Amino acid sequence: MANIKITLKKSLVGRKDNHIATAHALGLKKINDVTVQPDNACTRGKVAKIGYLLEIVEEV
């Protein structure tokens, strides 16, 4: 199963509450925090919601 590496590149300060909650659900709290998540529909939905704050790298 493939994974995706997600990095928070922009600050959460001043963002909508549900966008902050989505970032926290992914395990991202501060700028440059990195998490590795499974590449599934749930994770892709979260990334789509706050993609403008993230950098995504697909791992095999």
C-alpha span between 19 and 11 (Å, rounded): 11
* Global confidence as pTM: 0.92
- pLDDT digits 0-9 by tens, 10-31: 999 999 999 999 999 999 999 9
Pick the CATH number of 3-59 from 3.40.50.80, 3.40.50.300, 1.10.1060.10, 3.30.1390.20: 3.30.1390.20
C-alpha span between 27 and 37 (Å, rounded): 9
Helix (H, G, I), strand (E, B) or coil at 59: strand
- pLDDT exceeds 90 at position 59: no
Percent of the chain past pLDDT 70, that is, above it, reads 100
